[in-house]
Amino acid sequence: MNEQQGQLTSDQILDLAVTSLDDDKAKNLITIPLAGKTSIADHLVIASGTSQRQVVAMAEHLVSKLKKSGMTGVTAEGKTSGDWVVIDAFDIIIHLFRPEVREFYNLEKMWNVELPESGASDDSSEQIS
């Protein structure tokens, strides 16, 4: 835990992110544990929004909640276009996509995880081991 994380642990940041995205009706939300695979983060969170407006709104809400919880220095890139927003929450990296952009970049494949099928239960969250 570093000073910019405030008093939040990695697991608490992850829980806050997943809850916020669930509240904002994110689609195909998955979390990928990265501990032991890379040093860039402990977890990767990937979710889709149905439109550019929803992707940007989800990002803004999450950043606001992280800051209200005492985190400083949280950054979000990509809000201008709304196709793909990346939020750096230190030990947790959050990627928010429009569905077409998510399918094109297919970050899940890089971590050997299947991309959730669009016909699958869109309201469920999934943790990948």
Cα dihedral 107→117→125→61 (10° resolution): 60
Q: Return the CATH architecture of domain 3-105.
A: 2-Layer Sandwich (3.30)
pTM of structure: 0.84
Sequential pLDDT tens for the chain (129 residues):
555 566 889 999 999 999 999 999 999 999 999 988 888 999 999 999 999 999 999 999 999 999 999 999 999 999 999 999 999 999 999 999 999 999 999 998 888 776 566 544 444 455 554
Structure tokens that stand for 81 in this block: 């276009």
Residue ranges per domain, the chain? 3-105
Element (H, E) at 17: helix 10-23
Give pLDDT, residue 120: 41
Give pLDDT, residue 7: 80
